């Protein structure tokens, strides 16, 4: 392989016995968007880190515009013109936009920072790339989408020729995604920058990329121009027979997304409270006019054995609602009833006692204790039930933990720190924890975020079992429409911090309709259909 571009030739990388990358060759051409897709654990992150100098491959070579490179650290890569924007952004929250853009490359005249000059340049960059913030705004005051753009602006300012974007759209809402992809396209077309875009969503890939590379099990399984490959081929390649077992159509649908076809909200059916009460058990949780903490009136009911999906845009109050029910946020106004009795949890501990379990969206941030083993993490909320004479019955605790952990078929060592498990298995361990709590009500915030397709299917199975066999009332918050239409019995939509309590049966609502509902006017009067 020769010629212009960032050329990767036969790189391999292994961690102990695990081969993360095996003989990977690819090219990132200037003026083109190259999309990299593959499920979790396929080696995308390792590849990205190898390209950005954060990781040194065991073998193989990297050439930039004909020149061989050997990176010993991220600094080498950035000197060579490669910038990488990770999901976890590397901005300093306490500094301004301009200070971040110039971080490490500050302009100095006579030993003094040329603050005004840097601010002017930063403002130019902001204007150019649709960042509404000013150069002197603190990063901590910006929304996530804007921060991401600041990082891209920094890369451009540092004259990066190749920009690697690691799943830049996951945290964004639809409009922001369009905006971001538009900018990516402009960078490539106008400035001739070569972009490597790691993305899970095929819609986005086909909208913006010129070239698609599929990675599976650390090997390249697809490498072609977007004109030459279609969705089916892509899915075939990345899901293909590299995994085990049959391809899960729901999981595939979650990746593919069904195109935004013709939709009409008039055809959306709703299901009445009475009908749900007949189909499922008694109401477990009833929320009426829940407000405060950016919630502006949430009415919602969930029944025993029912899986209620909550759809809404990021920031629509879904997570706030779950955390308020769990006692992690104070309940300002409105009322909650649990099994018909008033419920006002002041702390998660109280909610747990009342029979509520919760799985956080950010398991690393507030899901598990990293130094503890999976077993210890699983038993943490239920320690109080295993005390005799003030002393913990560890044997019984471990027995119970082993039981629930094997129910969710954990792969990995359960007595090692939980961080030694893969993301999907960590999440399954947290489901084991919820199972052990034997809850009345299970609150799930993006339960399949960051897990691979196989684990996703298993997690759906676990959720269904809990609802069907243990009669648990489940509320699932998800940003993936397909996840809800696949998993939930009924779906409610949050808009701008409120929910009108209208519930759509999954059989009648499509992904496209859900999206439209989420964008609909927030006032109940114009939300369209009312319960029949």
Partner 1 sequence: MTDTTTARKPPTSKNSEVHVKKRRLPDETGIFIVLVAVLLVFSILSPNFRTIDNGFTLLVNGTVIGFLALGQTFVLLTGGIDLSTGANIAMSGVLVALVMQAGVPWPAAMLIALIAATSLGVLNGLLIHYVRIPPFIATFSTQGVALAIPLIITGANSIQVRDIGFSWIGQGRIAGVPLPVLLLLVAAVIAGLWLRMTRQGVHVYALGGNKNAARLAGVNIARTTILVYAISGFCGGMGGMIVTSRLMVGFPATGTGNELFYSIAAAVVGGISLFGGVGTVLGAMIGAVLIAAVSNGMNVLSVQSYWQSLVIGVIILVGVSFDTLRRSRAGRPVFAKRPAVDTPSLPPSTTPSKS
Binding site for partner 1 (CB under 8 A): 15-18, 20, 40-41, 45-46, 49, 54-55, 73-74, 86, 88, 90, 326, 328, 347-349, 352-353, 358, 360, 365-373, 375-376, 380-381, 383-384, 387, 390-392, 394, 398, 402, 405-406, 410-417, 419-425, 433, 452, 454-455
- Closest distance to partner 1 from the beta carbon of 420 (Å): 5
Instruction: State which residue, 42 or 237, has the beta carbon closest to partner 1.
Output: 42
Instruction: State which residue, 418 or 476, has the beta carbon closest to partner 1.
Output: 418
Return the CA Rg of the chain.
25
Instruction: State which residue, 194 or 218, has the beta carbon closest to partner 1.
Output: 218
- Closest distance to partner 1 from the beta carbon of 371 (Å): 4
**Cα distance between residue 74 and residue 54, in whole Å:** 5
Q: What's the token pair of residue 333? A: 């106004």
DSSP assignment of 263-325, as one string? --GGG---B-HHHHHHHS-SEEEEEEEEEETTEEEEEEEEETT-EEEEEE-TTSSHHHHHHHH
Distances (CA, A) of 257 to 44, 144, 204, 476, 482: 21, 24, 10, 19, 7
Instruction: State which residue, 168 or 367, has the beta carbon closest to partner 1.
Output: 367
- Closest distance to partner 1 from the beta carbon of 215 (Å): 14
- Closest distance to partner 1 from the beta carbon of 365 (Å): 6
Residue 359 CB contacts under 8 Å (≥ 6 apart), including other chains: 367, 427, 430, 431, 434, 442, 443, 444, 445, 447
- Closest distance to partner 1 from the beta carbon of 347 (Å): 7
Instruction: State which residue, 321 or 368, has the beta carbon closest to partner 1.
Output: 368
Instruction: State which residue, 73 or 289, has the beta carbon closest to partner 1.
Output: 73
Q: Are 164 and 83 in contact (CB under 8 A)?
A: yes
- Closest distance to partner 1 from the beta carbon of 273 (Å): 30
Mapped onto helix, strand or coil, the DSSP state of residue 391 is: strand
Q: DSSP letter at 212?
A: E
- Closest distance to partner 1 from the beta carbon of 345 (Å): 11
Q: What's the token pair of residue 390? A: 């003030």
Instruction: State which residue, 265 or 392, has the beta carbon closest to partner 1.
Output: 392
**Cα distance between residue 322 and residue 359, in whole Å:** 10
Instruction: State which residue, 422 or 471, has the beta carbon closest to partner 1.
Output: 422
Q: Are 500 and 527 in contact (CB under 8 A)?
A: yes
Instruction: State which residue, 242 or 515, has the beta carbon closest to partner 1.
Output: 242
CB neighbourhood size of 162 (10 A): 25
- Closest distance to partner 1 from the beta carbon of 13 (Å): 9
CB neighbourhood size of 353 (10 A): 13
- Closest distance to partner 1 from the beta carbon of 163 (Å): 16
**Cα distance between residue 172 and residue 168, in whole Å:** 8
**How would you write 132-149 as a 3-class SS string?**
CCCCCCEHHHCCHHHHHH
């Amino acid at each position: 392989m020769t010629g212009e571009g960032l050329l990767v030739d036969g790189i391999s990388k292994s961690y102990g016995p695990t081969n993360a990358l095996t003989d990977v060759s690819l090219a990132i051409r200037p003026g083109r968007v190259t999309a990299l897709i593959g499920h979790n654990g396929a080696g995308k992150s390792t590849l990205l880190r190898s390209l950005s100098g954060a990781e040194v491959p065991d073998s193989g070579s990297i050439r930039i515009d004909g020149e061989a490179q050997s990176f010993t650290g991220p600094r080498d890569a950035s000197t060579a013109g490669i910038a990488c924007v990770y999901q976890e952004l590397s901005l300093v929250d306490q500094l301004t936009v301009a200070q971040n853009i110039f971080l490490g490359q500050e302009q100095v005249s006579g030993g003094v920072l040329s603050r005004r000059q840097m601010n002017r340049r930063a403002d130019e960059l902001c204007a150019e790339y649709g960042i509404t913030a000013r150069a002197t705004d603190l990063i901590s005051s910006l929304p996530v989408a804007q921060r991401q753009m600041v990082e891209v602006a920094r890369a451009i300012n540092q004259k990066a020729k190749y920009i690697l974007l690691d799943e830049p759209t996951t945290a964004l809402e639809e409009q922001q995604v369009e905006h971001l992809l538009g900018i990516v396209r402009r960078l490539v077309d106008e400035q001739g920058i070569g972009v490597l875009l790691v993305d899970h969503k095929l819609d986005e890939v086909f909208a913006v990329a010129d070239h698609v590379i599929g990675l599976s099990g650390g090997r390249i399984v697809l490498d072609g121009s977007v004109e030459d490959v279609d969705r089916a081929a892509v899915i075939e390649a990345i899901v293909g027979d590299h995994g085990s077992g049959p391809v899960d159509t729901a999981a595939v649908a979650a990746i593919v997304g069904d195109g935004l076809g013709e939709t009409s909200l008039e055809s959306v059916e709703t299901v009445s409270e009475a009908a749900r009460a007949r189909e499922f058990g008694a109401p477990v949780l009833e929320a009426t006019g829940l407000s405060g903490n950016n919630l502006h009136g949430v009415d919602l009911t969930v029944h025993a054995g029912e899986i209620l999906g909550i759809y809404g845009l990021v920031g629509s109050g879904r997570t706030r609602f779950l955390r308020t029910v769990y006692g992690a946020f104070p309940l300002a106004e409105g009322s909650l009833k649990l099994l018909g009795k008033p419920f006002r949890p002041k702390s998660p501990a109280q909610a747990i006692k009342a029979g509520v379990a919760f799985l956080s969206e950010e398991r690393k941030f507030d899901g598990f204790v990293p130094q503890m083993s999976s077993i210890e993490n699983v038993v943490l909320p239920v320690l109080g039930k295993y005390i005799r004479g003030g002393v913990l019955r560890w044997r019984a605790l471990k027995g119970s933990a082993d039981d629930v952990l094997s129910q969710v078929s954990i792969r990995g060592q359960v007595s090692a720190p939980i961080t030694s498990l893969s993301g999907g298995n960590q999440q399954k361990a947290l489901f084991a924890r919820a199972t052990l709590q034997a809850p009345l009500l299970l609150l799930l915030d993006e339960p399949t975020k960051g897990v691979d397709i196989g684990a996703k299917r298993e997690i759906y199975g676990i959720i269904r079992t809990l609802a069907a066999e243990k009669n648990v009332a489940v509320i699932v918050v998800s940003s993936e429409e397909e996840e809800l239409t696949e998993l939930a019995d009924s779906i409610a939509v949050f808009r701008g911090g409120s929910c009108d309590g209208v519930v759509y049966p999954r059989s009648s609502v499509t992904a496209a309709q859900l999206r439209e509902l989420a964008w609909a006017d927030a006032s109940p009067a114009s939300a369209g259909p009312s319960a029949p």
